Chains A and B, each alone.
Chain A
Amino acid sequence: MEEWKIDEMYDLIQQMHHLADELKKKAGGIQAVERNLDRILASIKMLELNVCDVKDVI
């Protein structure tokens, strides 16, 4: 399992999630920002399902 850098990927995905959340807080109701962030967060969720969920069972 060591060939995949799961810990590093996990950290980067969490950073992406945090960044998207922070940006959403600063969106000030601009729909063009908020709605695109919803799509980005949905994609980040797929990364979490594919990588982050596995981190503590591997």
Chain B
Amino acid sequence: MSKDHHIFWNPIIETLPPEKLQALQLKKFRRILTWAYNKSPFYRRLYQGAGLEPGDIKSLEDIRKIPKIEKGMMREVQQREPFPYGDMLAVPIEQVTAFRQTSGTSGIPVYQADTCQDWEWFSECWCYILYAHGYRSTDRVFIPFGYNIFVAFWAGHYAAEKLGCEVVPGGILDTQARILKMKELKCTAFMATPTYVLGMADAAKSKMGIDPAKDLYIEKITCAGEPGASIPTTKKRMEEAWGAKVYDHIGATEIGAWSYECTEQPGGLHVNEAFFLVEIEDLETGQLITEPGKEGKMVITAFDRMAKPCIRFDAMDVIHWANFQCDCGRTFRIIDGGVVGRADDITKVKGVLLAPTAIEEVIRSLSELGNEYEVVVSKRGDIDDILLKVEILPGKEGEREYILARLKDQLRVKTNLGYKIEVHPYGSLPRYEVKAKRFKDMRKKGG
């Protein structure tokens, strides 16, 4: 195991032996719990309702007694004062210096309040990520992101500055202007969703005659927002298109940036266990899962986010602990393959559990298919139908029957389901810049 301290943002924390890490977690959990109990009317009501006080938590096992919070509760509490956050807030409103909100893909957006210290903390979480991805002060980092109300790459920008990188904000430039600027400035790294990483490469090749792998200088790409960078076939496509290493990280507006790949790329992501407590619960029984390989739902606590604490948040992400170690020397545990899906996305179709990421893995493994696809699940009478829309790359249409036969075969093997497949003209399916919406379950809309 390597102990080269130059690969760590903080070697003290990232190499703590597990028992010491657990002692740190307990200490920090009790601190944020006490803070929330004393400062946030919402949390005080929640814990008093459960008959609990911070002093009742004496071990990591005791943490399981603390009530969980859900996104619906965050939305509901926003109806209370102080506007617009509600009484989950644990600081006077005048101390809030930053507003962000969730995308609202699963309902009304959740508003996130942060103080100056919270925002410094969010950037600090990202420093762990970017340093593990190999960012250094010699990098020129391009951020092709429309800086706005969504948290996305804001903290990545500030963290890159903190690392000493030179940051180029891509802001409102369009895709082609961004590519030209990356080329002109010989940028060495950038951050984007997997969908946009592939979309930029497509645009560079098809509209500008630029091959990113040969004509640009990108060495590393940091992904967020979608699971693609942890899906091997999608990661491979991105790495080939850019001639660069692609790294994943996971975070959320209301949580923080809690997990990251390292340059060893062991097939999973380290959880920043000094800043976050990740619990995995069985999807049906709710029992704690500690053994590797068993999928469950993540419940997460951010230890150091103060304005709007995030304590035992039922994030709906489906993950599992890895049964392998990483050679990088970090002692933070690894989640195997990143976020496998969301508990509210993994759905039963024809009686079989289906994770949308499994479909993406198959599509991206077939080199004759374009990057875009769409899945529509509907109900005809009592029978579920799955329609999969794909694009065949220009010049490959002559192999259509062969391609579709392989696609159907592999989908059956990977997902145990049969699909109706529609081939759409190349370039006609929707293209996305931020989070793609490729899975549509019409049954939920009564359709």
List chain A positions with a Cβ less than 8 A from chain B.
1, 4, 6, 38-39, 41-43, 45-46, 49-51, 53-54, 56-58
List chain B positions with a Cβ less than 8 A from chain A.
10-13, 16, 20, 23-24, 27-28, 115-117, 119-121, 124, 274-275, 304
* Option from A39, A43, A46, A54 in Cβ contact (under 8 Å) with B12: A54
Count of A-B residue pairs with CB < 8 Å: 46
Q: Select the residue from A38, A43, A54 with max chain B CB neighbours within 10 A.
A: A54
Smallest CB–CB gap between B340 and chain A, Å?
A: 30
CA distance A1 to B124 in the complex (A): 23
CA distance A58 to B20 in the complex (A): 6
Q: Is the CB of A42 within 8 A of B13?
A: no
Chain A residues near B23 (CB-CB < 8 A): 57
Q: Is the CB of B16 within 8 A of A39?
A: no
Q: Is the CB of A4 within 8 A of B12?
A: yes
Chain B residues near A46 (CB-CB < 8 A): 120-121, 124
Smallest CB–CB gap between A7 and chain B, Å?
A: 12
CA distance A6 to B124 in the complex (A): 19
CA distance A43 to B274 in the complex (A): 17
CA distance A45 to B24 in the complex (A): 16
* Option from B24, B117, B119, B274 in Cβ contact (under 8 Å) with A41: B117
Chain A residues near B124 (CB-CB < 8 A): 46, 49-50
* Option from B27, B28, B117 in Cβ contact (under 8 Å) with A42: B117
Dominant SS at the B interface?
A: helix
Q: Select the residue from B11, B117, B121 with max chain A CB neighbours within 10 A.
A: B117
Chain B residues near A53 (CB-CB < 8 A): 24, 27-28, 274
CA distance A1 to B12 in the complex (A): 8
27 contacts between A and B (CB under 8 A): A1-B12, A39-B116, A41-B117, A42-B115, A42-B116, A42-B117, A42-B119, A42-B120, A43-B120, A45-B120, A45-B121, A46-B120, A49-B124, A49-B274, A49-B275, A49-B304, A50-B10, A50-B12, A50-B124, A51-B12, A53-B24, A53-B28, A53-B274, A57-B16, A57-B20, A57-B24, A57-B27
CA distance A57 to B26 in the complex (A): 11
9 A-B pairs closest in CB distance: A42-B117, A42-B120, A57-B23, A57-B24, A57-B20, A42-B116, A46-B124, A50-B10, A45-B117
Chain A residues near B28 (CB-CB < 8 A): 53
Smallest CB–CB gap between A54 and chain B, Å?
A: 6
Chain B residues near A42 (CB-CB < 8 A): 115-117, 119-120
Chain B residues near A45 (CB-CB < 8 A): 117, 120-121
Q: Is the CB of A6 within 8 A of B12?
A: yes
Chain A residues near B24 (CB-CB < 8 A): 53-54, 57
CA distance A45 to B120 in the complex (A): 9
CA distance A53 to B303 in the complex (A): 12
Smallest CB–CB gap between B355 and chain A, Å?
A: 35
Chain A residues near B13 (CB-CB < 8 A): 50, 54
CA distance A41 to B13 in the complex (A): 21
Chain B residues near A54 (CB-CB < 8 A): 12-13, 16, 24
Chain B residues near A49 (CB-CB < 8 A): 121, 124, 274-275, 304
Smallest CB–CB gap between B305 and chain A, Å?
A: 11
CB-based nearest B residue for A49? B304
Smallest CB–CB gap between B118 and chain A, Å?
A: 8
Smallest CB–CB gap between B178 and chain A, Å?
A: 31
Chain B residues near A50 (CB-CB < 8 A): 10, 12-13, 124
CA distance A49 to B11 in the complex (A): 13
Chain A residues near B121 (CB-CB < 8 A): 45-46, 49
Q: List 7 additional A-B contacts (Cβ < 8 Å) besides A46-B121, A53-B27, A57-B24.
A: A1-B12, A39-B116, A45-B120, A49-B121, A53-B24, A54-B12, A58-B12
Smallest CB–CB gap between B32 and chain A, Å?
A: 12
CB-based nearest B residue for A48? B304
Smallest CB–CB gap between A23 and chain B, Å?
A: 17
Smallest CB–CB gap between B162 and chain A, Å?
A: 9
Smallest CB–CB gap between B109 and chain A, Å?
A: 26
CA distance A41 to B121 in the complex (A): 12
Chain A residues near B12 (CB-CB < 8 A): 1, 4, 6, 50-51, 54, 58
